[in-house]
């Protein structure tokens, strides 16, 4: 299983895209999203449009929901306001994974196909995906989906992987959960991911995937102080923090300064959380350098951490 992408959801994508340009990313152009009718093969609009900050094997989706349909796949989380609402995991054997999880009584939607238009690079055209999601009743933190790329060569083109801030990878995501829900949340992700977590700071755990990590942190005064629990979502399970790896942290800092983006060097407590999560993966070298922390008001509803990319 791999950390494929995460998604921020808003009601004004133009403004959110501008936020991310100011952070030094180069988001793609905005396009509508579609699902494919299983019988006719017809493209049907999802009532959603998006753009993407693309890296070599992962991306960050910026998405706007225009639909007011209560059955829309993101409807369950829209009332919380703009924020990080999508976690997508890729599997090379999606059908088999779907069958195994369904057999383990994990409630999933049926597999479906979706498409979005790619107008960048030298391979323009529709990119196709197969995907399913956990039922919202068992993923209060946000939409958790499993997917497989059918057109990966179109999605991950090198022409859109150059970002002024030096970003090269989506490295991980933190999930904040009320303490009473911590044990059940960890068990759900253990079943979903098929791997055992490592312990990190202050009662948290970290799942290291083939690429990327997912950390679950019980809500506390310390997690809030570290920016790993968003105060406005206190008491609710939520995706709280993105971790993005960069080539040169000084280059990133210079871009933030130039664009007048407020940031702070991560506090010792925040750094301890993040460092313990990253260091829990013995397969990768973790640079012991300072990381930069940016508040949700500058990012669009989630906390963001830039840190030197892992080798």
* pLDDT value, residue 44: 82
Q: How far is CA 196 from CA 37, 206, 215, 222, 279, in A?
A: 37, 9, 12, 25, 15
Is the domain of 20 the same as that of 155? yes
Q: What is the pLDDT of residues 194-235, one digit of tens each?
A: 999 999 877 899 999 999 999 999 999 999 988 899 999 999
Among residues 114, 133, 160, which one ends one of the domains? 160
**CA-wise closest residue to 300 among 9, 4, 6:** 9
Looking at per-residue confidence, does 115 or 20 come out higher? 20
Query: How long, in residues, is the chain?
Result: 311
Residues 153, 233 within the same domain: no
Domain boundary (113, 139, 160) is at 160
Same domain, 144 and 192: no
> What is the DSSP-derived secondary structure letter of residue 71?
T
| Exposure of 2 in the CB half-sphere (CA atoms within 13 A) | 17
**Edge-to-edge strands, sheet with 205-208:** 198-199, 205-208, 213-218, 167-177, 238-246, 303-308, 292-294, 264-265
Query: Is the pLDDT score of 311 beyond 70?
Result: no
Q: What's the rounded Cα separation, in Å, for the pair 216 and 283? A: 20
User: Contact, 278 vs 213, CB < 8 A?
Assistant: yes
Q: How many domains does the chain fold into?
A: 2
pLDDT of 88 strictly over 80: yes
Q: Does the pLDDT value for residue 287 go beyond 60?
A: no
Residues 113 and 194 in one domain: no
Question: Are 152 and 174 part of one and the same domain?
Answer: no
Domain range for 90 is 2-160
pLDDT tens digit sequence for 24-80: 999 999 998 877 776 777 888 888 999 999 999 999 999 999 988 898 999 999 999
Q: Are residues 151 and 120 in the same domain?
A: yes
Roughly how many angstroms between the first and final C-alpha of the chain, as a whole number?
A: 19
State the DSSP code for 27.
P
Q: What is the DSSP letter of 178?
A: -
Same structural domain for residues 128 and 205?
Answer: no
Q: What is the CATH classification number for the domain harbouring 152?
A: 3.10.180.10
Indicate if 173 and 79 belong to the same structural domain: no
Judge if 181 and 298 occupy the same domain.
yes
Give yes or no: residues 104 and 206 share one domain.
no
Whether 153 and 276 share a structural domain: no
């Amino acid at each position: 299983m791999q950390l494929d992408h995460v998604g921020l959801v808003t009601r004004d994508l133009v403004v959110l895209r501008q936020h991310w340009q100011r952070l030094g990313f180069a988001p793609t152009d905005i396009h509508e999203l579609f699902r494919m009718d299983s019988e006719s093969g017809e493209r049907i609009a999802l009532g959603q449009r998006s753009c993407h900050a693309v890296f070599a094997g992962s991306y960050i989706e910026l998405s706007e929901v225009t639909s007011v349909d209560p059955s829309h796949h993101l409807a369950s989380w829209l009332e919380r306001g703009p924020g990080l609402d999508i976690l997508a995991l890729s599997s090379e054997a999606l059908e088999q994974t779907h069958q195994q999880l369904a057999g383990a009584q994990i409630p999933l939607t049926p597999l479906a196909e979706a498409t979005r238009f790619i107008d960048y690079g030298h391979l323009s055209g529709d990119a196709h995906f197969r995907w399913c999601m956990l039922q919202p009743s068992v993923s209060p933190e946000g939409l958790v989906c499993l997917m497989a790329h059918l057109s990966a060569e179109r999605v991950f083109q090198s022409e859109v992987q150059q970002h002024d801030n030096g970003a090269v990878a989506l490295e991980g995501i933190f999930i904040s959960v009320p303490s009473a829900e911590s044990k059940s949340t960890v068990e759900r992700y253990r079943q979903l991911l098929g791997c055992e977590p490592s312990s990190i700071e202050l009662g948290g755990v970290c799942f290291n995937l083939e690429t990327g990590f997912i950390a679950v942190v019980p809500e506390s005064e310390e997690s809030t102080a570290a920016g790993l629990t968003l105060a406005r979502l206190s008491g609710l399970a939520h995706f709280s923090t993105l971790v993005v790896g960069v080539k040169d942290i000084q280059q990133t800092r210079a871009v933030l300064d130039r664009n007048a983006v407020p940031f702070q060097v991560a506090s010792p407590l925040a750094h301890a959380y993040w460092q313990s999560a990253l260091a829990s993966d013995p397969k990768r070298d973790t640079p012991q350098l300072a990381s930069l922390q940016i508040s949700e008001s500058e990012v669009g509803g989630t906390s963001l951490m830039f840190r030197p990319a892992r080798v």
